[in-house]
Amino acid sequence: MNWFQAKAYLQYIFKKKQWRDKDFQSPLAQNIAQDVFYEVHPYYHFVVINDIRNDLLQSKKQIEISDFGAGSKKFRSNKRSIKNLVKYNASSQQQGEIISRLISYFKPQNIIELGTSLGIGTLYLALPNSTTPVYTIEGCANIAKEAQENFSIAKSIHIHQNVGAFETELPKVISKIKEVDFVYFDGHHDYQATINYFNICLSKASESAIFIFDDIYWSEGMAKAWSEIKQHPDVSLTFDLFRFGVAILKIQKNKEHYIIKRV
């Protein structure tokens, strides 16, 4: 955790969190909190993903990577071990399970992910519904190849991979979709890049699309991007879980923002 994250986390700790029914203004926000953020009932596919994660954590393999995003604050070499990629880059179990619950709750028609990595987060997006197409973008071909193996293990044939820079691949993905329903922004943690990708997806978003932004306090720039996204006129409901933020578009008339103590 860098100095900015540490400072942001201390501020987050002392902020009032919403968890009781009376803490939420709308029944919708209350239902999402109860059925998604504070739900603990396990889904069958959690076991599948955890088995894959544990196998990767035991791997001794190393691969050479290329990074089109904001880079890593932990590594300087372009060679990474599979186990370190899982340890430092993969979605945590708790975060992944919340994302899966969001998919099950809202049942989006399509899902886009920016930043596949080894595919752990992708599987949390894909396994709740085997008929919903998942379009995932990864900048590094070697990492994408490893992710594809994990998709095969999980028998997830509805995951479609694009390999390349987000700024070139995202418009290609968007062009294939009538309306964007669900986007997981999990790469290129940079203020301007995040705002640019948000606007690209917003231009074709469905009426109540859901956008998830990973590492919203990764840097001052990411915190600024998250603040602007919360205030955007097309965003009506947001949840801050520190590790990531959830923004829902015009799902209701009144703008509401909640801080959730969960991850």
User: What pLDDT, in 10s, does the model give residues 131-151?
Assistant: 999 999 999 999 999 999 999
pLDDT at 69: 52
The structure tokens listed for 83 are 């186990």
The structure tokens listed for 195 are 């705002």
CA distance 210 to 183: 6
CA distance 262 to 242: 9
pLDDT at 134: 98
Would you say 42 and 128 are in contact if contact means Cβ atoms under 8 Å apart? Answer: no
Residue 262 pLDDT class (50, 70, 90 cuts): low
What architecture does CATH give domain 3-55+90-259?
A: 3-Layer(aba) Sandwich (3.40)
Residue 72 pLDDT class (50, 70, 90 cuts): very low
Q: State the average pLDDT over residues 36-46.
A: 93
Least trusted range by pLDDT, from 61-75, 143-157, 188-202, 213-227: 61-75
Least trusted range by pLDDT, from 12-16, 153-157, 203-207: 12-16
pLDDT at 187: 87
Average pLDDT, the chain: 92
CA quadruple 215, 107, 102, 128: dihedral sign: negative
Residue 105 pLDDT class (50, 70, 90 cuts): very high
Assess whether pLDDT exceeds 70 at residue 220.
yes
The runs of H, that is alpha helices, within 92-140 are 93-106, 120-126
User: How buried is 115 (Cβ within 10 angstroms: 0-12 exposed, 13-18 middle, 19+ buried)?
Assistant: buried
**pTM for the whole thing?**
0.93
pLDDT at 256: 96
Amino acid (one-letter) located at 140: C
Q: State the average pLDDT over residues 44-58.
A: 97
CA distance 187 to 194: 9
